[in-house]
Amino acid sequence: MASLTVNGMSRDFNGDGNMPLLWYIRDELQMTGTKFGCGMALCGACTVHLDGAAVRSCMTPMSAALGKRVTTIEGLDAQGQHPLQVAWRAVGVPQCGYCQSGQIMQAASLLQKNARPSDADIEAAMSGNICRCGTYTRIKAAIKQAAGVKEA
Ligand code: FES
Ligand code: FES
């Protein structure tokens, strides 16, 4: 029996190692904060962390997640108080909301590596996360605000 850790909880997995991690998260664990967009690693809606790094869960097979730590939007902060979540609410980033958990998880991995990103750093890190509603300006503002929160 193989296992992985999801949001701090150890989980057993005995299924098909080719199944996308996104299917496991949404269909088996019923954690629906992580979204399906393109299924081809082109939109970023399905972004989660694997051992702390942002990955596209639609294209990550379960075999690559076994033995590792997966963090989804539900586990980023138990109270929803990660600096990015605080900033996202303060700025009022979402429109329809569909892309937003992926945006936040991508941004969280950026801030883990780079606590004071420049505009260019933010643009480079976030360029693969598509927002059909065009909230990019607010996303950038919230990331910068969160970087300030982290600094305090
Ligand atoms: S659903 Fe995974 S990148 Fe679009
Ligand atoms: S808020 Fe609607 S797709 Fe991003």
Compute the distance from residue 20 Cα to the ligand 2 centre, in Å.
Answer: 23
Strands of the sheet containing 9-13, edge to edge, are 9-13, 2-6, 69-71, 47-50, 53-56
CA of residue 54 to ligand 1 center, whole Å: 12
pLDDT band at 150 (very low <50, low <70, confident <90, very high): very low
Q: Which ligand is nearest to the CA of 42?
A: 1
Q: Which domains does the chain have, with CATH numbers?
A: 2-76 (3.10.20.30), 83-147 (1.10.150.120)
User: Residues near 16 by Cβ (< 8 Å), separated by ≥ 6?
Assistant: 62
Give the C-alpha separation, 110 to 129, whole Å: 13
pLDDT tens, position by position, 78-100:
999 999 999 999 999 999 999 99
- What is the chain's alpha carbon radius of gyration, rounded to the nearest angstrom? 15
Distance 124 CA to ligand 2 centre (A): 19
Q: Which helix (H) or strand (E) holds 84?
A: helix 83-91
Task: Judge if pTM exceeds 0.85.
Answer: yes
Ligand having the closest approach to the CA of 41: 1
Ligand 1 pocket by Cβ (under 6 Å) = 36-39, 41-46, 56, 58
Count CB atoms within 10 A of the CB of residue 1. 5
**129 with 99: CB under 8 angstroms?**
yes
Cα 123 to ligand 2 centre (Å): 17
For residue 46, the ligand closest to its alpha carbon is: 1
